[in-house]
Structure 1
């Protein structure tokens, strides 16, 4: 559809990359439309096989995702518990929920909280935002939203999540000696501290326990080149500075708006995950910047580090020039000694970040040398995006030689494809001159002999997938947009300490657990619907929830958007504020509309008064 490769369910795994937003209001509007510059980049495959930015659908499927998340959270806290749980006073409305969101999922998570608040429901207990594209600046392609509107929305949503932390159950109720603990906590755990084995699994270390209910965490990576693009300028790359430039209605009150200064007192915490290595002791020994040191004001870029998110080079001299030029053109930049208040709680021990997970060729800074991006083998989604990109090019394989440049390729194509599955077929065939050295020498020595031509086919999808998996030339530089997520150790030593702990009685019931997991999966095909309807607890859900689940399934199966279940109006916590240029354009369009309507009326009624016009109308 519009050049986008969809699967049999009208879905696009990985989403429409160009449809991503850096704010909430834009998710209620029309989809991405490529300009001339973007179309030229795509047609010439300048960005490579795996990048396609074609016309995309309306973005309201993001709003549907937020509505589904809000519905799931509400369902978890309103289900009927098992009789045994009820006897012990364990009520699902006290369920402790943490959402770990990544990229666009973080903005969907924020909107879900605004929807819950509008419905009078309790928000999740804790949010961890990883590599979010959410921005606090007015950018080129953000639906003309002001930085002030974005900042106010973030502050207001953070406030409803954190202002009244839920306190049931008390963490003391999780002690192994407590009646209802269920044995979840070990003998060395208390509500203030616990013990765990170190990374080597040999020595016990003591860590501080804390109640993370009513907190929002931001994990940002200054080397994330995706949300570091100028058109995005996301806090997932740049973090939240103390202040940001004032615009919109805030411009009346000064040149800047308090950002982290306003968010930090509201239990908003940020942690920096950087690949940079620094000589903090001045002894010439460069070490990784640890995550979880004592809260402090930290430079995102020191005096020796580059100002753009992207790496300095791909490891070659030409690459250094190309990368530097590309970074300057596409990426927003830090300023020298740009400071962030890193106020995530101290971890014991602090974590040495691993941002190189999944790399075939490991990248990273080298003291005294340029920073090199690691190389990644394309994953399944990337392979499918490449295969669906009409402008992508794959290897050509010679099938036969001929002296006739007008040879028909149809017979070769039919014979090759016959009886094969679609992914084993080759659709693109051609006849081209043989430019090999041997052929050219023969042509020169025997000019009376007609030159040789090659009958070639493009790789089949299966061959292309295998080639992308095995061929080093098919590897792509890591953009570090998922660097934090790609290492389990990052989560073991940091995320595990930041999630909220408490009650999870709904997961104790295997029937409810199965239903909730099925509800959470957006890929609701017919097999999933059969499981959902067959679940003993499906009939215990409110009728509206049942209807909503089936409508979401119908959307996945047939592509029919569930309009009646998705509000077209933003919840009150979301502030939509247009830039002055957008307001002027809107007013101009409105004036033009009224002018055209007046001209139509003039042509229809001439100079008649309203009384004369109405006089001729039937009563």
Structure 2
């Protein structure tokens, strides 16, 4: 059933109607949008970079298609966002919002908005019965801070994965809070299948755009874990014979081709079977993915999805016809020439950043940090040779396969249609000029040395961000001419540490902007910050702590500060006071604490007192040493800074998107986003915060009944599988119960995803006929049975 189309206004003006007029009234109309761009955030994120991304895209498209230079009023207009510090009449550092998640980073569309951006939001929702409260903040069962709907955008920080099968795995197991950063506490985390639900919903969103018009163009710009959700969504679409997105732009992906880890992280991961959250649908099947995925499985999965995108390239309309203004309504300007532009449909772009110290973690070493190499060694499972694999209680019922070491060629395996760009502040010697120069984004394809000799590749961050991070192999740059022994070194040896930058040349190569709008250099760190008191060689660039992260910090064991001893009036009634001097015992401390906290809100209550003594000179004064109240801590953290890891450096800069992303996105058809009514429907489906109970809605949260009322005409046209995903997501956001439409790994693994562990366990995708009876959103039975 086709979606209905309703007329909509593309321009309006006022004028005087009179006869014998000398000229007609000119009405400026909006051009058709050139495509649909889905933005996807990562873990522990509510879309904090969407403003920069959308703003940069609109400015870049103005320049690319309409020849409107920066600083001039453009025709592509981004939505507005409520960013911290964006209201001049409000001090966001001093003000404690009762519900900061309902205030900050919220997107607002008005009559001026004309943007191809569709913000996709996803996350984890705790059940009411397992939620807790700490220092006035709601938490999940493990202590991870939630919002007032018991949800967390992107899920907990520690649940990021480096492979697709691990999105079905147990959550992180951390028996105690590790890391030492209150803004990003690393705690145990829930089962990860909420990521699979997000990938299903993303697949549904892409299919909806395709159904609006067969020639619609879809570009995905994803960040961090959002990259893996995007890849899994394409795998779901390919399995159903549906067209994937036209173009994927992956920024800072933790996706890794490295199967090994350090001894430290090996010890951290070993006890995972004893803890971490689980999903009922995976009960009894976690053993199949209890070890790390092989390098070959990681590579083959990525290659299959990339080549699936390439093979499904849809070349209609050809770019040359976009100048037909009768059909495309000014999508391109009079100076635009198809031959001077680039058709990006059927491509996957990797934007990687060697400065990214999050994806550089030893247990990750993602392609978002080091790119895709020409050569690497890794493990592959034999197709024919099995091995004995005794289980804890005898023979393991799962067949195990022999592991074989292989020489892999990742870049050539990914094949045509895969392009990578490096965004870095590092300078490299230009061989022709023998001078150190910036590495510009958009230079003609060239080689890039990840780590040259005598270069400290971790010195750009504070000392706290340096341990347990991988180093690239040191290389000579420029390469020295081959000596007498060069024949002893294989091509793989000669390429080690050097990455081929294959992205097409841009018309105007640009410097990467890794600062963004919010970087605070060491010399500018506020003097009262702990970061300013570090030795100079341990300092690094920082970023301001936003109000949501400040609330997170108050739930960390390191988040509340011990205050200096202070004198206070004894808050107890005189009848409760016991004469004497000296240190108070636990009973008297409890009396004082109860009196201090009486009739106060949880956030203003003092939960921890270290010591109390009577002040000299009388019983009415006490000397108290206590920790901050949660609200005192929140306000302090809102004035604080946090070390920058550079993990959001690419996605968080509007300049990168204006100069690069806007030229890599696909263009050709954007009717779905040009239609304001259907665009609103797409944005509603793209936001997981859709609640079944309309009676208790927080600001900015859409209720199910209103959703049905606003978009009934479109909803009625949806096929059952998409209705199941959308409604299942709404029920999940409302209750925390994983919908039955989300398949476990053993019934829902897409055929393009290779699942093979270094322990020799291979999980195969179900045949299409069998999968149709059990896979995503067809019947609720399998997930319920597995959880029984």
TM-score for the superposition, normalised by structure 1:
0.77
1:380 to 535, 547, 556: 547
Establish whether residue 100 from structure 1 lines up as the match of residue 221 from structure 2. yes
Query: Which sections of structure 1, spanning at least 5 residues, go unmatched?
Result: 80-91, 194-208, 584-619
- C-alpha contact 1:223 1:311 (8 A) present in aligned 2: no
Counterpart of 1:532 in structure 2 is 707
Distance 1:232 1:361 in 2: 27
Once the two structures are TM-superposed, the CA of residue 558 in structure 1 deviates from its matched residue by 1.3
Matches within 5 A, 1:397-476: 398=566, 400=568, 403-406=581-584, 408-410=588-590, 412-414=592-594, 416-432=596-612, 454-470=623-639, 474-476=640-642
Counterpart in the other structure of 2:410 = 259
Q: Structure 2: 5+ residue runs without aligned partners?
A: 1-140, 262-268, 270-289, 383-401, 476-496, 524-535, 571-580, 695-700, 763-788
SS at match of 1:245: strand
In 2, Cα distance between the equivalents of 1:31 and 1:567? Answer: 15
What is the CA distance between 1:305 and its match in structure 2? Answer: 1.7
Q: State which drifts further: 143-152 or 490-499.
A: 143-152
2:426 matched to which residue of 1?
A: 276
Q: 1:16 offset after TM fit, Å?
A: 1.3
Alpha-carbon separation, structure 1, partners of 2:670 and 2:304: 27
CA distance in 2, matches of 1:374, 1:548: 42
Alignment-derived partner of residue 493 in structure 2: none
| Aligned partner (choices 730, 734, 759) of residue 553 of structure 1 | 730
Contact 1:217 1:268 (8 Å CA) reproduced: yes
1:301 pairs with 442, 451, 465, which one?
451
Q: Any conservation in 2 of the 1:431–1:453 contact (CA below 8 Å)? A: no
Distance 2:217 2:513 in 1: 29
Deviation at 1:401, TM superposition (A): 6.8
Deviations 1:31-88 (A, max 9, x none): 11126xxx3xx3xx65232232222111111111111101111122224xxxxxxxxx
Q: Deviations over 1:195-219 (max 9, x none)?
A: xxxxxxxxxxxxxx10000000000
| Aligned twin of 1:233 | 365
The yes-or-no answer on 1:333 pairing with 2:471 is yes
Question: Does 1:30 find its partner at 2:189?
Answer: no
Q: State the Cα distance separating 1:567 from its structure 2 match.
A: 4.9
Match of 1:396 among 532, 541, 563: 563
- Pairing of 1:140-219 with structure 2 (within 5 A): 140=261, 141=269, 143-175=291-323, 177-193=324-340, 209-219=341-351
Equivalent position to 1:521, from 687, 690, 704: 687
After TM superposition, the structure 1 stretch with the greater mean CA deviation from structure 2, 539-548 or 148-157, is: 539-548
Residues 336 and 541 (structure 1), Cα distance of their counterparts in 2 relative to 1, 3 Å cut:
same
Q: Deviations over 1:489-516 (max 9, x none)?
A: 1100000010011111112222211111
Q: Which has the larger helix fraction?
A: 1
Match for 1:246 among 364, 375, 378?
378
Say which SS state the counterpart of residue 12 (structure 1) adopts: strand
Matches of 1:582 and 1:122 in 2, distance apart? 31
1:10 is matched with 150
Partner of 2:514: 355
CA contact (8 A) 1:9 1:559 kept: no
1:211-232: CA deviations, max 9, x gaps? 0000000000001011100101
Distance 1:572 1:433 in 2: 69
Residue of structure 1 in register with 2:235 after alignment? 114
2:293–2:755 contact (8 Å) kept in structure 1: yes
Equivalent residue pairs, number = 516
Instruction: Tell me how far apart the structure 1 counterparts of residues 545 and 336 of structure 2 sit (CA, whole Å).
Output: 42
Q: How does 1:129-148 map to 2 (within 5 A)?
A: 129-140=250-261, 141=269, 143-148=291-296
Q: Is the Cα contact below 8 Å between 2:516 and 2:649 reproduced in 1?
A: yes
Question: For 2:349 and 2:680, how far apart are their aligned partners in 1?
Answer: 29
Q: 3-state SS of the aligned residue for 1:540? A: coil
**Greater shift in the superposed pair: 524-533 or 273-282:** 273-282
Checking the alignment, whether the CA contact within 8 Å between 1:515 and 1:538 is kept in structure 2 is no
Q: In structure 2, what is the Cα distance between the partners aligned to 1:285 and 1:381?
A: 45
User: Structure 1: how far apart are the matches of 2:342 and 2:294?
Assistant: 37
2:245 is equivalent to residue 124 of structure 1: yes
Structure 1 pair 416–406 and aligned structure 2 pair: CA distance change class (3 A): closer
Q: Are the aligned partners of 1:428 and 1:458 in contact in 2 as well (CA < 8 Å)?
A: yes
1:289 to partner: Cα distance: 1.7
Q: Secondary structure at the match of 1:217?
A: strand
The Cα of 1:157 is off from its aligned counterpart by 0.5
Paired residues of 2:322 and 2:332 also in contact (CA < 8 A) = yes
| Cα distance in 2 for residues equivalent to 1:218 and 1:534 | 40
- Aligned equivalents of 2:167, 2:460: Cα separation in 1: 34
SS at match of 1:271: strand
Contact 2:291 2:759 in 1 (8 A): no
1:393 match: secondary structure: coil
1:371, 1:351 → 2: CA distance?
31
Q: 1:566–1:512: structure 2 CA closer, same or farther, 3 Å change rule?
A: farther
Shift in Å at residue 155 of structure 1?
0.4
Distance 1:14 1:457, change over 3 A: farther
1:489 to 2:685 alignment: no
CA distance in 2, matches of 1:468, 1:254: 49
State the structure with bigger RCO (CA 8 A, min sep 6), 1 or 2: 2
- CA drift of 1:582 comes to 6.7
Task: Give, in angstroms, the shift of residue 311 of structure 1.
Answer: 2.3
Aligned with 1:455: secondary structure? strand
Aligned to 1:83: none
Instruction: For residue 304 of structure 1, report the CA deviation from its aligned partner.
Output: 3.4
Distance 2:254 2:519 in 1: 26
Cα deviation, residue 291, structure 1:
0.7
Question: For 2:519 and 2:759, how far apart are their aligned partners in 1?
Answer: 48
Q: Which residue of 2 aligns with 1:606?
A: none
Q: Is the 8 A contact 2:293 2:757 kept in 1?
A: yes
How far is 1:488 from its partner?
Answer: 0.6
| Correspondence 1:570 to 2:703 | no
| In structure 1, C-alpha distance between the alignment counterparts of 2:302 and 2:596, rounded to whole Å | 57
RMSD: 3.0
Q: Give the stretch that moved more between structures: 391-400 or 150-159.
A: 391-400
Q: SS of the residue aligned with 1:211?
A: coil
